[in-house]
Amino acid sequence: MTADLPTLLATFGAGSALSVLSLMNPPATLPLFLAVSQHEDERGRRRMARRACLYCFGILVVSLFAGSLILRSFGISLGALRVAGGLVVMLLGHGLLYGKTEKPSADDALPASGNPTFFPLAMPGITGPGQIAVVIGISTEVRELGTWGSQAVAYAATVGAMLAVCAIEWAFLRSAARISAKLGRVGTEVITRLSGFLLVCVGVQFVASGVRTLITAG
């Protein structure tokens, strides 16, 4: 396992961080956050940013460790999940690349009741179906590792990556007003397009991996 440690960290650490961060797209969540927190003072906005990111981290962790249970409950094969998840990620990436994002609009940001920090901010504003599909797909790859030690390292690297991504999101939300003003409309659009392209690449990789798994199993 020691010899494979750098590979595991790169694949499940850096790879998970890139995949989830590209899909989360922190700059694209700023307008929603500003709309949801428009009646809060600076202290209230910081509190909402912290809670939203904690919710997001919890959603990702549950998706990672409950992925196997979900697969068994619905009789879904690993290959089928990877193909389906890859297609979802590709579609979301296509939307970001060509300007049709799935992010909730600011007009729908404030629900009549409930907890706006969880809905619509944390889910689906920041953490939506795309992130959940990616994380469950990663959990299927972890399950295919040969030893328990390798799986433990992969899980730890993935959780660490998700924590880092949520910390980045928190930093963006905490400075939402200043970042939005500095980036401007053009800067936000450029980052969104690049994130969309990366998502399409991630989705293609998941589909290819899923097809390979289905062929091997068949």
Q: Give me the phi and psi of 103, to 5 degrees please.
A: -70, 140
Q: Is the peptide bond before 124 cis (omega within 30 degrees of 0)?
A: yes
- Of the pLDDT bands very low, low, confident and very high (cuts 50, 70, 90), residue 145 is confident
**CA-to-CA dists, residue 174 to 32, 37, 109, angstroms:** 13, 11, 18
Q: What are the boundaries of each domain within the chain?
A: 5-217
Higher pLDDT, residue 198 or 215: 215
Write down the mean pLDDT value for the chain.
83
Name the range with the highest mean pLDDT among 81-90, 105-114, 134-143, 152-161. 152-161
- Of the pLDDT bands very low, low, confident and very high (cuts 50, 70, 90), residue 196 is confident
Q: How many angstroms separate the CA atoms of 39 and 100, rounded?
A: 28
Grouping H, G, I as helix, E, B as strand and the rest as coil, residue 72 is helix
Nearby residues of 56 by Cβ (< 8 Å), 6 or more positions away: 24, 122, 123, 126, 127, 166, 169
pLDDT of residue 114: 67
- Of the pLDDT bands very low, low, confident and very high (cuts 50, 70, 90), residue 111 is very low
Q: How many CB atoms lie within 10 A of CB 156?
A: 14
**Length of the chain measured in residues:** 218
Question: Tokens 């399409």, residue?
Answer: 200
Residue 105 has pLDDT above 60, yes or no: no
Helices (H), 75-175: 78-97, 129-143, 148-174
Name the range with the highest mean pLDDT among 65-74, 123-132, 144-153. 144-153
- Of the pLDDT bands very low, low, confident and very high (cuts 50, 70, 90), residue 110 is very low
Q: Are 163 and 18 in contact (CB under 8 A)?
A: no
Q: How many CB atoms lie within 10 A of CB 119?
A: 15
pLDDT of residue 218: 64
Residue 207 has pLDDT above 80, yes or no: yes
Question: Token pair of 143, please?
Answer: 């399950």
Higher pLDDT, residue 38 or 166: 166
Helices (H), 25-111: 26-36, 42-65, 67-74, 78-97
Q: How many angstroms separate the CA atoms of 147 and 123, rounded?
A: 34
Residue 142, Cβ density class (10 Å: 0-12 exposed, 13-18 middle, ≥19 buried): buried
pLDDT of residue 153: 93
pLDDT of residue 113: 47
Please give the average per-residue pLDDT across 149-174, as a whole number. 95
- Of the pLDDT bands very low, low, confident and very high (cuts 50, 70, 90), residue 174 is very high
Q: What is the pLDDT of residues 47-97, one digit of tens each?
A: 999 999 999 999 999 999 997 787 778 888 878 877 887 787 788 778 778
pLDDT of residue 57: 97
Q: How many angstroms separate the CA atoms of 31 and 27, rounded?
A: 8
